[in-house]
Amino acid sequence: MLVRKALLHDASNIYDLVNSLSGDGTLLKRPFAEICENIRDFTVAESEGGVFLGCGALHLYGPHLCEVRSIVVKPEAKSQGAGGAIIKALIEEAEAHGIQSVCLFTRIPDFFFKFGFRIVEDKSELPDKIFKDCQVCPRLHRCDEVAMVRGRIPRMSILGPRHEAQELVKLSG
C-alpha cells in the first residue's frame, strides 16, 4: 500500500468516496469545487496496483491547531490498514508543521484512541472548529459527534473567542 499527498487527478475519487457517506450524515457533503480547492489538504492511500483505497485531510487552523477530517476508506479496503496509515501520515504532517494539537470530530472514537487521541468533553474548547464549521453544519443543533484531540488543547483561538464558542455549544446542546 502507498500513502501519498493527493494530486488534482485524485479529486474525483475523493469526491465520490466522501459523498458516498454524506447521505446518512456520516460525513458532510462536499462540492467537487471544494475538494479541488482543498486538494493539498488531502492524503490518499492506494493499493500496490494504484487502486484508490481511501483518503483523509489535514485542515490547518493556525500554528496552534489542525484538524483531521474526511477520513474514509472504501468498504472493500476496511481492515487492511489504509485508515490507520492515512491517520499516521496526517499526524506526521501536523508534526512537520510544528502543530502540537490535532483535533477531529467522529462517531467512532474507539478507532482513534490507538493514535493518541482522547475525548474532549466540552466542544467549546475547540472554538476554531466551531466557528469555521459547526455554525454551517446541518447538524448544529443535533450534533452526535465526539470531539477528540491529540496533544494539548490550545489556549488560543484565531477565529473567535472561547466564550462565544461556549455559547454556540450551549445552543446546539
172 has a pLDDT exceeding 80? no
In Å, how far from its chain's centre is CA 83? 12
> Hey, is 107 helix, strand or coil?
coil
Backbone φ and ψ of 116, nearest 5°: 90, 10
Give the span between the Cα atoms of 56 and 102, in whole angstroms. 14
- Total domains, the chain: 1
Q: What is the pLDDT of residues 87-108, one digit of tens each?
A: 999 999 999 999 999 999 998 8
| CATH code, domain with 137 | 3.40.630.30
Domain that residue 18 falls in: 2-172
Structure letter (DSSP) for residue 121: S
E-strand ranges in the chain read 2-5, 42-46, 52-62, 65-73, 102-106, 118-119, 146-150
Neighbours of 37 (CB within 10 A): 11
Q: What is the pLDDT of residue 28?
A: 77
> What's residue 169's pLDDT?
44
Q: Give the pLDDT confidence of 127-163 residue by residue, as tens digits.
A: 777 666 666 666 656 677 889 999 998 877 766 554 4
35: nearest Cα among 13, 66, 68: 13
* Residue 155: all three cell numbers together: 489556549
18 CB-near residues (< 8 Å, 6+ apart): 27, 30, 35, 55, 70, 72
The model's confidence at residue 25, banded by pLDDT at 50, 70 and 90, is low
User: What pLDDT, on a 0 to 100 scale, did the predictor assign at position 171?
Assistant: 46
Look at residues 79, 134, 82, 83 and name the one whose alpha carbon lies nearest to residue 105.
Answer: 134
Residue listed under C-alpha cell 506526521: 92
The pLDDT of residue 133:
65
How many Cβ atoms are within 10 Å of 123's Cβ, its own excluded? 22
pLDDT in tens, 49-58: 999 999 999 9
Contacts of 126 (CB under 8 A, 6+ apart): 65, 103, 120, 147, 149, 153, 154, 165
